[in-house]
Amino acid sequence: MTVTALSKYQRLEAQALWRATPESQRIDVIVSVGEATLTITDSRERVLAHWSLAAIARTNPGVHPAIYHPDGDPGETLEVPENETQMIEAIDKLRAAISRQRPRPGRLRFFGVLVSVAAVLALAVFWLPGAARKHALVVVPAVKRAEIGQALLEHLQKVTGPACRGPGGAAALADLALRLPASQGSAAHFMVVRGGVTGALRLPGGTVLINAALVEDYEDADVVAGHIVAAYLRAASRDPLDRLLRQGGVSASLRLLATGALPDEVLRAHAEALLTDPPDTLDPETLLIGFRDWGVRATPYAYAIDITGETVLPLIEADPFAGAPPPQILSDQNWLRLQAICGG
């Protein structure tokens, strides 16, 4: 708009009164609009001053004669009489047009604040939840994980019922834990419950809940062993504590980091999800590697999943122990004890 205004007023001239300093006398001058300046000349066409169009201020807006001065120097003045309406209009329009194109620090600060707030909100929404959760997973010790698992178990047992404790069952589970240690050889803790759990479920801290049907409805221990291996593999691909914190949100992660505990409502909601959400799907290759590493036959587990064998054919055909059996899962005596752990 400034370029358009300049082209309109570039050849405009007018008579005016100019004073160099407050002590100087006013003299008659001719003022003309140039490309970027107002040029002030005397009657002999000698140039007395050049004023930048971008740095002109008006002392008396709306009053006549219009009095102008260089921005920051009110001592030097230019009085344009009321009858020179075109010049007054030109100067005021050019000043307004240039002013609109100037950076506005207040507006820039406002937008700067908005950008900063947006950045903080973006960090809070997108970065903080993941960062807090990942930090918690690193710093929370095994003992604290076990405490969280125990607190979660209390909510789960409202549906699953208490752990079965039939005669000899604890010793049989201990032998099974030795035969199927958790990853990296860490100790495992198995519990058999009457219902609620699909197959086997590993909790934060390492406790594995086992549905009683896995020990009561099958003839050998390979089925329950296969479900335990599957529970290990699911926990390896998706840390049980990570799953809990994801569901609990950033507040759960921050609460755990600050206090070392999780709100009861977070644990209760997660217990409900564990008992209602289907287990994560494991691909056959992952399962076969797990069966090989823990020394468990894949075929009994596969037929327990699908009695027809159609949907689990890769597990049956690639069973790592189809030719030679692995070490025994449990002795016959301990297997019988485990089958009777719930009094069935």
The enclosing domain of 58 has a CATH number of: 2.30.29.30
The amino acid sitting at 141 is: P
- The pLDDT of residue 1 is above 60: no
Asked whether residue 214 is domain-assigned, the answer is yes
- pLDDT above 90 covers a percentage of the chain that reads 55
Positive/negative CA dihedral, 138, 141, 146, 150: negative
- The pLDDT of residue 118 is above 90: no
Domain that holds residue 286: 142-339
Asked whether residue 328 is domain-assigned, the answer is yes
- Residue 188's pLDDT band (cuts 50, 70, 90): confident
Q: What is the pLDDT of residue 112?
A: 57
Asked whether residue 112 is domain-assigned, the answer is no
34 and 89 within one domain: yes
182 and 264 within one domain: yes
- The pLDDT of residue 244 is above 60: yes
- The pLDDT of residue 104 is above 60: no
Backbone angles phi, psi at 328, to 5 degrees: -60, 140
234 and 152 within one domain: yes
pTM over 0.85: no
What is d(CA 18, CA 24) in angstroms, rounded to the nearest whole number?
9
Asked whether residue 126 is domain-assigned, the answer is no
95 and 239 within one domain: no
What is d(CA 204, CA 242) in angstroms, rounded to the nearest whole number?
9
Secondary structure of 211-229 in HEC code, one letter for each residue? ECHHHHCCCCCHHHHHHHH
Q: What is the pLDDT of residue 114?
A: 59
Nearest Cα residue to 201 out of 167, 163, 166 = 163
- Per-range mean pLDDT, top range of 6-20, 41-55, 113-127, 290-304: 290-304
176 and 33 within one domain: no
CA distances from 84 to 8, 12, 16, 30, 88 (A): 16, 11, 8, 11, 6
- Residue 62's pLDDT band (cuts 50, 70, 90): confident
Asked whether residue 273 is domain-assigned, the answer is yes
Average pLDDT over residues 300-309: 95
Q: Which of 68, 101, 134 is the last residue of a domain?
A: 101
What's the structural domain count of the chain? 2
Q: What is the pLDDT of residue 334?
A: 95
Parallel, antiparallel or unpaired: strands 200-202 and 56-58: unpaired
- pLDDT above 70 covers a percentage of the chain that reads 86
- The average confidence (pLDDT) of the chain is 86
280 and 217 within one domain: yes
Q: What is the pLDDT of residue 121?
A: 46
Q: Which of 98-107, 188-197, 314-323 has the lowest mean pLDDT?
A: 98-107
Query: Per the structure block, which two tokens stand in for 88?
Result: 């007054």
Average pLDDT over residues 291-303: 96
Q: Which of 81-90, 148-157, 262-271 has the lowest mean pLDDT?
A: 81-90
82 and 31 within one domain: yes
Q: What is the pLDDT of residue 120?
A: 46
CA distances from 24 to 18, 19, 73, 75, 76 (A): 9, 6, 14, 10, 9
- The pLDDT of residue 55 is above 90: no
96 and 172 within one domain: no
Average pLDDT over residues 295-319: 96
329 and 219 within one domain: yes
Average pLDDT over residues 300-321: 95
Asked whether residue 133 is domain-assigned, the answer is no
148 and 79 within one domain: no
Q: What is the pLDDT of residue 131?
A: 79
Q: What is the pLDDT of residue 89?
A: 86
Average pLDDT over residues 186-204: 90
What is d(CA 236, CA 224) in angstroms, rounded to the nearest whole number?
18
Asked whether residue 156 is domain-assigned, the answer is yes
- Top-confidence residue, 304 or 36: 304
Asked whether residue 73 is domain-assigned, the answer is yes
146 and 25 within one domain: no
Q: What is the pLDDT of residue 133?
A: 82
Strands (DSSP E) found in the chain: 13-19, 27-33, 37-41, 47-52, 56-58, 66-70, 77-80, 189-193, 200-202, 207-211
What is d(CA 125, CA 121) in angstroms, rounded to the nearest whole number?
6
Q: Which of 45, 74, 101 is the last residue of a domain?
A: 101
Query: Per the structure block, which two tokens stand in for 65?
Result: 């004669």
Q: What is the pLDDT of residue 122?
A: 44
147 and 38 within one domain: no
Q: What is the pLDDT of residue 37?
A: 81
Strands (DSSP E) found in 42-114: 47-52, 56-58, 66-70, 77-80
